[in-house]
Amino acid sequence: MTGKYNAIQFARFLYRWHGLDRPQRGDQARLRVVEQLQGYGVPYSDLEAWIFPARITGYQYGELDKLCENGALAWQGYERLSSSEGVIALYKRDELQRLARISGLVPGERYIPLRELLADRACNFEQIKSKLGGFPPQVLASIWEMVWGGEVSNRRLLPLQALHADFVGRRRSGVYRRQRRSFGHRHVDAPVGSAGEWYLLAGPRQGFAPPEVRDQASAEQLLKRWGIVTPQCLAGEKVTGFKKLAAIFKEMKRNGEVMQSEFVENLGASQFALPEAIDLLNTSDTEEKVWMLAATDPANPYGSIFPWPKPLAQSKTPQRVAGARVLIRNGELIGYMSSRGHDLVTFPVHDKANSAAVEEDLVEFLTLIARPGHPMLLHSVDGQIPGRSHLAGTLRSAGFLASRQGYIYRV
């Protein structure tokens, strides 16, 4: 330990701790990423579009579903965000009973038949509908309410894929499209989001590990994810019981497994770290890097472990929400893109001599959002129309053109 580190230095540490400086390849690499992330709640769309591609070279949408299908992964719903999106956590299948969150049963008598049906076996939607009866959309709604309550899950990620894809398709075309699913040898029209086999994830017969085993597993998992665990890490994950976990960390400290100190300034003295994390934190990294992340990525400490820096100009406060992205330059937050991808917030930099380079990085960040057939349309920069912002000249030099709705860039 060479002294306290600031937020910028800690952001650089997280970038390397999560392997963003050296993306990996292969199925084993995907499982290693899950091993670090398991139990961390993230919007499903961010997992597929940003978080895994940032860590896995050549990651293709839907690969997580394949790992679920072959039994390597499981997932749990944490929170419903909209009809097409929600916060989920991934788990290695063999870690599920030690790490999955145990929440109370979803209240209401109408969930009891479904709970009893799924207690002993997984069922597809056709089997559930045949057994329980009722109006199919209402049956499916009950399933999803139990999913977001943490009680029910699916052997696949197909239902989440379908909901998200259907939303994107309807937003672009205005057409509601149903999906055809195969049940046995028959093809039937099934509601979007009903595919796969549903099973009871949480309940008295699901065989969760004893509380002391779960607490130990939770402490070890937090160390894997953060390297340096602080109360702010737990608050960001909406995990309670820091005192209980701190007692486990202190026992690990007595065994020489972790260290305790105020490693990162302004986060208090109750910080527990793996020795290899401190070694990495102490290792100087002078190479200049710029990285783009989902705002919800655990490797982004801003808006979670640390408060958002004050924006360059008056604008809406950034939020860690699905679809939002951040641009970090050498550990310093320089840009935030809104969830719809049209409004940019910028932040002042400490080194004023690099302001021109920062502007170029911000504009390059915007150009990378554009794809063939899907131009980047910028409505505002720091609450102003782009042509009146401090980036106006750099935007025009990069190929952005003025339009009625803002500045547009096509590839």
| Rounded average pLDDT over 303-308 | 96
Where are the strands (E) in 144-202, listed by range?
A: 152-154, 179-183, 186-190, 197-200
Tokens of 197: 């086999």
Residue 297 has what pLDDT? 98
**What is the domain class of 211-282 according to CATH?**
mainly alpha
Q: How confident is the model at residue 181 (pLDDT cuts 50, 70, 90)?
A: very low
Sort strands 376-378 and 325-329 into parallel, antiparallel or unpaired.
unpaired
Give the whole-angstrom CA distance, residue 118 versus residue 34: 26
For residue 177, give the 3-state DSSP assignment.
coil
Asked if residue 253 has pLDDT above 50, the reply is yes
For residue 190, give the 3-state DSSP assignment.
strand
Give the sign of the dihedral formed by CA 300, CA 304, CA 306, CA 309.
Answer: positive
CA-based nearest residue to 125, from 152, 151, 100: 152
- Asked if residues 8 and 14 have their Cβ atoms less than 8 Å apart, the reply is no
Residue 26 has what pLDDT? 83
Task: Please count the other Cβ atoms lying within 10 Å of the Cβ belonging to residue 294.
Answer: 25
DSSP string, 286-345: -S--EEEEETT-TT--BTTTBPPPPPSSS-PPP---TT-EEEEETTEEEEEE-TTS-EEE
Sort strands 343-346 and 380-381 into parallel, antiparallel or unpaired.
parallel
Question: Per-residue pLDDT tens for 29-68?
Answer: 999 999 999 999 999 999 999 999 999 999 999 899 999 9
| Rounded average pLDDT over 299-311 | 96
Q: What is the pTM of this model?
A: 0.91
Tokens of 305: 């472990």
Question: Per-residue pLDDT tens for 55-107?
Answer: 999 999 989 999 999 999 999 999 999 988 999 999 999 999 999 998 788 99
Q: Indicate the range of 77-86, 91-100, 196-205, 231-240 predicted with least confidence.
A: 196-205
Residue type at position 400: F
